[in-house]
Amino acid sequence: MPESRAIQIDPSINGRIAVVTGGAKGIGEGISRVLSAAGAHVVVADRDEEAADNLAASLRSTGADATAISCDVGDTAAVTAAVRKIGSELGAIDLLVNNAGIGDFVSFPQISRERWDRMLNVHLTGAYNCCHAVMPDMLKRRFGRVVNVSSVAGKRGDFIGNAHYTAAKAGLIGLTKSLAAWAAPCDVRVNAIAPGIVDTELTREMSQSHQTTTISRIPLGRFARPDEIASVVLFLLSDASSYVIGETINVNGGSYLD
């Protein structure tokens, strides 16, 4: 597997306030670290307060500015309060990454209404809550970048009937396109990524046989590392992607090509 590459300070990211939801662990941790290395003041927004505090402290120990905030993205009032707190203590939010998510590897018959609601609430309502609280100010300031973390499952479906996850991730692609077209005239760019399987706590919940079958369907023959996903998020948040809006970029080792 290739080594993670060193990230340089990026003038279009440097000094920006970047909120990463679910930013304390897994892919979110990778995104927080990469954005911090590129010069952003990262706000690690996670429902796991201890993990968020630890990561923010670790980023600060490198000389970066970083802040932790405890927040459940599915709770509209909590998101509104968190965004107000960030605004009054740190300043306007420039970059938003809607990454918080959960896994629930069951097939369609096991998806009770409660499981369905929980999945949609974290992934889709969570992204709505954050965009709704943050984007009006971005439009007013005529600056902002948003990246939604969808999934290969949202484009292709999945093989086990994990329909609540797939539906939530497909919904994020629609949300991305709609917000992108609406916000672009005010120089606010919205995009998404669709990772394949990434080696994180979430995927370690998959059974061994599910993991083996999944790897056999990936042309690169392995799961991704979080930093390989994070570098594409960095691209979408930076000026390197200045003419890209409403896209959902595959980062999947070839497991699905469209």
Ligand X SMILES: NC(=O)c1ccc[n+]([C@@H]2O[C@H](COP(=O)([O-])OP(=O)(O)OC[C@H]3O[C@@H](n4cnc5c(N)ncnc54)[C@H](O)[C@@H]3O)[C@@H](O)[C@H]2O)c1
Does 28 sit near ligand X (CB under 6 A)?
Answer: yes
Q: Which of 36, 125, 151, 238 binds ligand X (CB under 6 A)?
A: 151
Site for ligand X in 70-89 (CB under 6 A): 71-74
**Closest separation between CB of residue 243 and ligand X, Å?**
25
CA distances from 166 to 13, 36, 43, 209 (A): 31, 30, 28, 20
Residue among 37, 122, 138, 146 that touches ligand X (CB under 6 A): 122
Q: Which is the catalytic residue, given 128, 165, 243, 256?
A: 165
Pick the stretch among 104-112, 132-140, 196-204, 234-242 that binds ligand X (CB under 6 A). Answer: 196-204
Residue 165 among the catalytic residues: yes
- Residue 231 as a binder of ligand X (CB under 6 A): the answer is no
In the complex, minimum distance from the CB of residue 35 to ligand X, in angstroms, rounded to a whole number: 15
Q: Is residue 24 part of the contact set for ligand X (CB under 6 A)?
A: yes
Q: Least Å distance between CB 78 and ligand X?
A: 9
191 is an interface residue for ligand X by CB under 6 A: no
Q: Does 21 bind ligand X (CB under 6 A)?
A: yes
Residues near ligand X (CB under 6 A), total: 30
Shortest distance (Å) from residue 123 CB to ligand X: 6
CA distance 31 to 54: 15
171 binds ligand X (CB under 6 A): no
For ligand X, the binding residues (CB under 6 A) are: 21-22, 24-28, 46-48, 51, 71-74, 99-102, 122, 126, 149, 151, 195, 197-198, 200-203
